[in-house]
Structures are given as structure tokens and as C-alpha cells.
């Protein structure tokens, strides 16, 4: 089995993009939830 430690460094870009995507989706879910709370609140 051949292990190349530089492959981890090369994959950091893809891991960072994945984390960014997760945070964007979480932000969209929070935004939609807040918007629905504002639209459906009772006076």
C-alpha cells in the first residue's frame, strides 16, 4: 500500500468546497425558516 501525504493537501480544496456548500445549505434553511415565521405570524 502506497501512502502519499501530499494527497491530503491536494484534497483540502475539495474538502473546503464541501464545507462551504454545507454552510450555504444551512444558511438557506435558516433563511427560509425565518421568512416563513414572519409570513405566518399572528398579530
The Cβ of residue 12 has, within 10 Å, a number of other Cβ atoms equal to 9
- Inter-CA distances, 5 with 2, 12, 16, 17, 39, Å: 10, 12, 18, 20, 52
Q: What tens digit of pLDDT does each residue of 30-43 get? A: 999 999 999 999 87
pLDDT in tens, 9-31: 999 999 999 999 999 999 999 99
- Cα-trace Rg, the chain: 19
User: What pLDDT is stored for residue 30 in this prediction?
Assistant: 98
Amino acid at each position: 500500500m502506497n501512502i502519499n501525504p501530499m494527497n491530503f493537501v491536494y484534497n483540502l480544496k475539495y474538502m473546503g468546497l464541501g464545507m462551504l456548500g454545507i454552510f450555504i445549505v444551512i444558511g438557506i434553511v435558516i433563511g427560509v425558516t425565518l421568512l416563513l415565521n414572519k409570513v405566518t405570524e399572528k398579530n
